[in-house]
Amino acid sequence: MRWALLAGLVLFSACVPMAVLQPPEPVRGERFTLGGSLFPAPMSSPYPVWGLPYLGYAVGDGQKEFSLSFQAPLRLGAKVQLAEGLSLDGGVSLFVDLNQGAVTGFSADAGLLLRMGRDFYFSPRLHRLPWGPLAPQLTLGYWGEGMAVEGGYGPGGPYLALGLSFQSAP
């Protein structure tokens, strides 16, 4: 039964969005983001659209940033600024068996965050999932005045993500 539950969680994680919900520039100080994603049901369901909450925390010095986010699974990330409005972002997502309290697998992602205009960003990235080949993701988003809205297409298909962000200065 546990293996079936674990397999279901891993399969479900491959079918859900992997929201970026972060601006191209590394944060200076701390940033908290609270939001969620909407996406087409990954399996037969009476509900055609599913939702998933998003919780993120980042700390940085304006040149580099370290982050922790949760949107099934837990993601540990880092971002470094390459040029004005351009950063390299990557992370490792950990799949945890809550019954045993152990990490049962992981995936990795890396991508660019490019500012387009004043408040828009574009993020092409690749995901290395534990059960298949590299999976591409394209995201277009808006980040401004403590609010983020993004749409994208990734390993789980199309998604729409919304977030509210709170930032403190160093």
Q: Could you tell me the pLDDT band of residue 42, with boundaries at 50, 70 and 90?
A: confident
Range 91-97 contact pairs with CB under 8 angstroms and sequence separation of 24 or more: 91/67, 93/13, 93/18, 95/9, 95/10, 95/13, 95/130, 97/2, 97/6
User: Which residue did the predictor score with more confidence, 34 or 41?
Assistant: 34
Lowest mean pLDDT among 4-13, 29-38, 71-80, 106-115: 4-13
Model confidence, pTM:
0.85
Q: What is the mean pLDDT of residues 2-21?
A: 55
